[in-house]
Structure 1
């Protein structure tokens, strides 16, 4: 049976909200089951949309990773789009002054450092502070299967940033509505929060819907299964596949001997097929330089533990190329000098040293107990 997203459930019973002045947090990947963008579906159904708030990558979900996104006007609706990845990360009191309700309908890909989650948290913070009610329209987590598949480390508070504010695992296995309920209980107790669960979504099977690209590097669902681990390359002097046709699915660097690496990885890691690759990124790290590395394809996507796999892979790279492998600064709008990016990704201080000395625990054994009161499916 086809999954009904939160927006579809809302459209089936619009009456409590039809005369409400609404601010909508969404992007181009926020769509109904039949593919209509949420903002258009709400307008068509008679909802009173006042403004749109956009996350990182902008409303069109095409902005380059980490780049400042300015405010703009939506050409189809002529509504103002307030960027929450600009000089501000949260709605201001003025932004909310003419609204009766803020609706959040954002896609996710299930990794702690994918920033749409933290945009939601900042919106929750503003809505609590300025006493505006909030409604979360839920969507699938494309890599969810069971909370037993959650992977840490849990974020340590000293590593809190816009790619991880609160102590949750890297692969959290939850939906935004579930996490919103948890955040309300743990951080925003005065927030008036309502959630609109999906219908017919089964966490265990996680089928029955189409995956829409969520950002420039996440164009296919297959990428999401490796992303919670391969994104760690952003904090190292290894190209994470950006500037190629297989961002996050492949990686490389001019100094990697991929013949030697492939032999060692095949010996030690058996949860994915590996393919030796040579490519030239057309932007990003090592732009226009030949890079040599591997393409990683999980054998069983639903049981692939990407974080532990790529932590071990980084350890193998260090064992083979100890003089070449180094940390890298990763410059973004929210981290202009790019410092400690690997710490922020992994959620641990001195992450590089902990990885190469095999002192990273990727288990998240208590997460199921923590989240049990907030699960919807």
Structure 2
């Protein structure tokens, strides 16, 4: 399945899916019998956030403490333990009020757990819901946790969760000259892997610092099939501005606007479901004004009336304009009057190369841009195949 059309109709897929309903997905966190024996008698450090729940209700930390697991430390990724901090906002260390367990932020003074952080930890557990996109930073945090575990001789258990964007591989493969925390390895924007599979790839390809090997064990999900669109629906927002499945599916394409002057709806009730700018024609079908709100304290174009497009009706129509869809960028670039101020320095980090920006500036058609990604995707698929755990 390809997203290489400006409009992708998924109605037929949804119809086929509804005709034969598979058993519900069981996340690894729910499979306590598979990993509790590994934690018995151990001092446990857990990298978790608000998505780390069992049956969408009980937080994993609370559940394990009730079962007598000795959790000595919580590590938190971007957005914090409760998932309320802005994108890019630094988060300090704290203590969980409910349990009294200390929380070490890996998105504050340092991103990598050091020997002092791990001195009283025997084993690490990672359980965070990812969205399957290279520049979503949870897989970068996973990579650095694996490096810390390897350097300090600590085993790591990854409790796997489905990838809601796992049914497609798309986008340019990262040029390693553009490595950053929003893209650390040579993978496409949409890699089609779970975090457990990706962790296996990091180990297997020798991609950790100094080709270190993490003592890794992945607890798998049950009944997960990556090839069925909407086979797994996230009910807890994985970050403050990905509030709906629509936003999660649009994110791989719309997030590229973070590298431009355009607003993608942060500070509204439809983040990652709209885009616009004050200089766009007032005749466009939608308008919005970003405001300072929790999770978007200083959004792009705050308090400015923007004209643009709204993709949220997909929630009702089941017609998705999504994937790594450069039609959004091409259209916005054409509409933007001051071309020299359209892109900012962050764009190439998100794209993972300097090529995409130049292709758009030169007016290259979308289909030719997609064609240029194919060799990299083909090579990546060969590597990826070795680490897959699900059909």
TM over 0.5: yes
* Cross-structure match for 1:51: 73
* Alpha-carbon spacing, 1:373–1:69, altered in 2? closer, same or farther (3 Å): same
- Secondary structure of the corresponding residue to residue 226 of structure 2: coil
Q: CA deviation at 1:295?
A: 1.3
* Cross-structure match for 1:282: 291
Q: Which residue, out of 232, 235, 238, partners 1:211?
A: 235
Q: Does structure 1 conserve the Cα–Cα contact (< 8 Å) formed by 2:164 and 2:234?
A: no
Taking the aligned partners of 2:232 and 2:177, their CA distance within structure 1 comes to 40
Q: Which residue, out of 142, 147, 155, partners 1:125?
A: 147
TM-score scaled by length of structure 2 = 0.83
* Cross-structure match for 1:136: 158
My pick for the range that moved more, 62-71 or 28-37, is 28-37
Taking the aligned partners of 1:324 and 1:242, their CA distance within structure 2 comes to 23
**What is the aligned residue count?**
346
Q: Does structure 2 conserve the Cα–Cα contact (< 8 Å) formed by 1:2 and 1:209?
A: no
Q: CA deviation at 1:44?
A: 1.5
Task: Show CA shifts across 1:129-152 (max 9, x none).
Answer: 11111110001111222xxx2112
2:136 is aligned with 1:114: yes
5+ residue gaps in structure 1? 263-275, 330-339
* Cross-structure match for 1:225: 249
Q: Does structure 2 conserve the Cα–Cα contact (< 8 Å) formed by 1:110 and 1:144?
A: yes
Q: Does structure 1 conserve the Cα–Cα contact (< 8 Å) formed by 2:279 and 2:307?
A: yes
Taking the aligned partners of 1:42 and 1:60, their CA distance within structure 2 comes to 18
Task: Show CA shifts across 1:180-236 (max 9, x none).
Answer: 000011224521111100111121235366521111101112211100000011111
Taking the aligned partners of 1:372 and 1:208, their CA distance within structure 2 comes to 21
Taking the aligned partners of 2:217 and 2:120, their CA distance within structure 1 comes to 20
TM-score scaled by length of structure 1 = 0.86
* Cross-structure match for 1:95: 117
2:268 is aligned with 1:244: yes
Q: Does structure 1 conserve the Cα–Cα contact (< 8 Å) formed by 2:34 and 2:219?
A: no
* Alpha-carbon spacing, 1:356–1:93, altered in 2? closer, same or farther (3 Å): same
Q: Which residue, out of 59, 77, 101, partners 1:37?
A: 59
Q: CA deviation at 1:315?
A: 1.6
Taking the aligned partners of 2:360 and 2:380, their CA distance within structure 1 comes to 22
* Cross-structure match for 1:195: 218
Q: CA deviation at 1:281?
A: 0.6
Taking the aligned partners of 1:27 and 1:172, their CA distance within structure 2 comes to 22
2:330 is aligned with 1:312: no
My pick for the range that moved more, 207-216 or 158-167, is 207-216
- Secondary structure of the corresponding residue to residue 207 of structure 1: coil
Q: CA deviation at 1:12?
A: 5.4
Alignment map for 1:68-107 (pairs within 5 Å): 68-107=90-129
* Cross-structure match for 2:382: 369
2:364 is aligned with 1:349: no
Q: CA deviation at 1:60?
A: 0.6
Q: Which residue, out of 156, 168, 174, partners 2:187?
A: 168
Taking the aligned partners of 1:57 and 1:199, their CA distance within structure 2 comes to 28
Taking the aligned partners of 1:134 and 1:78, their CA distance within structure 2 comes to 23
* Alpha-carbon spacing, 1:247–1:6, altered in 2? closer, same or farther (3 Å): same
5+ residue gaps in structure 2? 1-22, 293-298
2:176 is aligned with 1:157: yes
Alignment map for 1:286-297 (pairs within 5 Å): 286-296=301-311
Taking the aligned partners of 1:204 and 1:218, their CA distance within structure 2 comes to 22
Taking the aligned partners of 2:153 and 2:360, their CA distance within structure 1 comes to 43
My pick for the range that moved more, 157-166 or 290-299, is 290-299
Q: Does structure 1 conserve the Cα–Cα contact (< 8 Å) formed by 2:286 and 2:310?
A: yes
Taking the aligned partners of 1:90 and 1:72, their CA distance within structure 2 comes to 16
Q: Does structure 2 conserve the Cα–Cα contact (< 8 Å) formed by 1:134 and 1:193?
A: yes
Q: Does structure 2 conserve the Cα–Cα contact (< 8 Å) formed by 1:139 and 1:176?
A: yes
- Secondary structure of the corresponding residue to residue 58 of structure 2: coil
My pick for the range that moved more, 124-133 or 52-61, is 124-133
Taking the aligned partners of 1:78 and 1:198, their CA distance within structure 2 comes to 30
Task: Show CA shifts across 1:318-357 (max 9, x none).
Answer: 234353573455xxxxxxxxxx210010000264223322
* Alpha-carbon spacing, 1:176–1:90, altered in 2? closer, same or farther (3 Å): same
Task: Show CA shifts across 1:232-251 (max 9, x none).
Answer: 11111101110111111101
2:201 is aligned with 1:182: yes
